[in-house]
Amino acid sequence: MRFKMFTFMVVPPDSSKVRKINLPSHILLSIILLLILVFGFVGYVIYDYTYVIGELQSIKHIKIRNRKLAQQLRSYKVRIDEIEDSLERLKVLTTKLKIISNLRDPERYPHQNLPSSMDTVDDIDDLSMRSDVEVDNQFRNMRLKLREIEYKISFQEEELNSFNEYLADQSALLAATPSIWPVRGWVTSNFGPRVDPFTRKVKHHDGLDIGTRINTVIVAPADGIVTFTGTKPGYGYTLVIDHGYGISTRYAHNSRFYVSQGTKVKRGLPICAVGNTGRSTGPHLHYEVRINGVPVDPKRFILDNPWE
Closest CA to 90 of 144, 158, 142: 158
Structural domain spans, the chain? 1-8+23-175, 186-300
- Whole-angstrom CA distances from 32 to 39, 56, 130, 181 are 11, 36, 49, 122
Spatial distance between the Cα atoms of 191 and 175, rounded to a whole number of angstroms: 23
Prediction pTM value? 0.53
Total number of residues shown for the chain: 308
Q: Are 180 and 301 in contact (CB under 8 A)?
A: no
Per-residue model confidence (pLDDT) at position 68: 80
Per-residue model confidence (pLDDT) at position 2: 60
Neighbours of 20 (CB within 10 A): 9
Per-residue model confidence (pLDDT) at position 287: 97
Per-residue model confidence (pLDDT) at position 277: 95
Neighbours of 208 (CB within 10 A): 23
- 3 state DSSP class of 308: coil
Q: Are 200 and 212 in contact (CB under 8 A)?
A: no
CATH class of this structure's domain 186-300: mainly beta
Per-residue model confidence (pLDDT) at position 133: 63
How do the pLDDT tens digits run along the chain, 308 residues long? Answer: 566 777 777 777 776 677 777 777 777 788 888 888 988 888 888 888 888 888 888 888 877 877 787 787 777 778 788 888 878 877 777 777 666 666 555 444 343 443 444 444 444 445 545 555 666 677 777 778 788 887 888 887 787 777 777 777 778 888 889 999 999 999 999 999 988 877 788 889 999 999 999 999 999 999 999 999 999 999 999 999 999 999 999 999 999 999 999 999 999 999 999 999 999 889 999 999 999 999 999 999 888 655 44
Helices H, strands E: what count in the chain? 2, 14
Sign of CA dihedral 268, 273, 274, 277: negative
Q: Is 64 exposed, middle or buried (0-12, 13-18, 19+ CB in 10 A)?
A: exposed
Q: Are 279 and 234 in contact (CB under 8 A)?
A: yes
Per-residue model confidence (pLDDT) at position 136: 67
Q: Phi/psi at 182 (nearest 5 deg)?
A: -75, -20
174-199 burial, b at 16+ Cβ within 10 Å, e below that, comes to eebbbebbbbebebebebeeeeeeee
Closest CA to 149 of 106, 109, 98, 119: 109
